């Protein structure tokens, strides 16, 4: 069966992804300089799509917290995942860097950043999706560069790739409304969908929260992983925007300047309502449609951080 799926995923040789590493290495110091400057316009040449919204949200939070970085973090390398073929239309990079101390000295450790998907815009490579938790680093792929196989056609999979993002948005909208929809997605307290349909603060005893989920990009990328699998999973990466309207049950919602429980994107103040907009990039692992109807045949949703990008409030 695997031979019918095209070239299998494999560890890339030392030279096949040099072009991608070169792009990432040149991009990183410009990204560091942009955040040190604190100028949102400096992000426009580095990011696009939802990644730009996330970067702008991060810069807003740094401004509100007065925590803008002073020194660049040195680049230490990258791990690259790219689709098979010569189109070079996108790749996913996990950047490794050294944290710096308060005096700008590099610490003797290496930190790994969440994944970034790079695509070309008008001939320029930039980050179009941030905080991507796929491919999932595991023993089959190892810790080095990998080439990802092209996915099969929709009818080979448990659900058509073109339907996954919209089905997921419908699912989390129903879940946030207190319903228990029948859907091919996992349920329970440890799932990403559960955390996505809740906010940690304020608690329900003092405020109500009304959620709305909508698809921003139904297919950022898609690929298959064939090494070590007898049933080839397809991974579809998409982004969803979450809007939460928070209203106090009584009085006003108060956000103190030093209150760490509130989202850092909300400015200090007293509010009669607060609307927080967030983005999440979801990687859906889709099993083959091979006649297996056993329990556990689910589309697994794997999400990274839920990035707050904007807050709009009505002052009391």
Phi first, then psi, for residue 250 (nearest 5°) are -145, 145
What is the distance between the alpha carbons of residues 79 and 156, in angstroms, rounded to a whole number?
A: 30
pLDDT in tens, 182-210: 888 988 888 899 999 999 899 999 999 99
Residue with tokens 């307290």: 189
What angle do helix axes 49-65 and 18-37 make, rounded to 10 degrees? 30
What is the DSSP secondary structure assignment for residue 42, as one 8-state letter? G
pTM: 0.90
Tokens of 123: 């001939």
- Sequential pLDDT tens for the chain (316 residues): 222 333 344 556 545 899 999 999 999 999 999 999 999 999 999 999 999 999 999 999 999 999 999 999 999 999 999 988 766 889 999 999 999 999 999 999 999 988 999 999 888 899 999 999 877 644 555 668 888 888 877 777 788 888 999 999 999 999 999 998 888 898 888 889 999 999 989 999 999 999 999 999 999 999 887 665 666 678 899 999 999 999 999 999 999 988 989 999 999 999 999 999 999 999 998 887 777 766 567 888 888 899 999 999 999 9
pLDDT in tens, 25-68: 999 999 999 999 999 999 999 999 999 999 999 999 999 999 99
């Amino acid at each position: 069966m695997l031979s019918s799926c095209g070239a299998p995923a494999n560890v890339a040789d030392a030279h096949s992804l040099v072009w991608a590493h070169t792009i990432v290495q040149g991009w990183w110091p410009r990204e560091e300089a942009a955040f040190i400057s604190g100028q949102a316009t400096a992000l426009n040449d580095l990011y696009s799509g939802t990644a730009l919204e996330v970067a702008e949200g991060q810069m807003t939070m740094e401004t509100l917290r007065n925590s803008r970085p002073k020194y660049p973090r040195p680049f230490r390398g990258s791990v690259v995942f790219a689709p098979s073929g010569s189109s070079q239309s996108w790749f996913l990079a996990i950047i490794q860097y050294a944290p710096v101390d308060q005096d700008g000295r590099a610490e003797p450790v290496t930190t790994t950043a969440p994944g970034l998907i790079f695509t070309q815009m008008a001939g320029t490579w930039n980050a179009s999706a941030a905080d991507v938790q796929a491919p999932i680093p595991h023993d089959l792929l190892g810790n080095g560069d990998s080439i990802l196989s092209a996915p099969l056609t929709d009818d080979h999979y448990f659900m058509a790739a073109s339907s996954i993002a919209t089905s997921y948005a419908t699912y989390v909208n129903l879940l946030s409304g207190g319903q228990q929809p029948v859907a091919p997605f996992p349920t329970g307290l440890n799932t990403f969908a559960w955390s996505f349909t809740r906010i940690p603060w304020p608690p329900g005893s003092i405020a109500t929260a009304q959620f709305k989920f909508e698809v921003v990009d139904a297919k950022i990328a898609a690929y298959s992983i064939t090494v070590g699998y007898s049933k080839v999973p397809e991974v579809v990466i998409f982004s969803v925007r979450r809007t939460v309207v928070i209203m106090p049950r009584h009085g006003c919602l108060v956000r103190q300047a030093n209150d760490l429980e509130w989202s850092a994107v909300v400015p200090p103040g007293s509010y009669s309502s607060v609307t927080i907009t967030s983005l999440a990039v979801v990687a859906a692992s889709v099993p083959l449609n091979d006649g297996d109807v056993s329990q556990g045949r689910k589309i697994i949703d794997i999400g990274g951080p839920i990035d707050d990008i904007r807050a709009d409030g009505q002052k009391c």
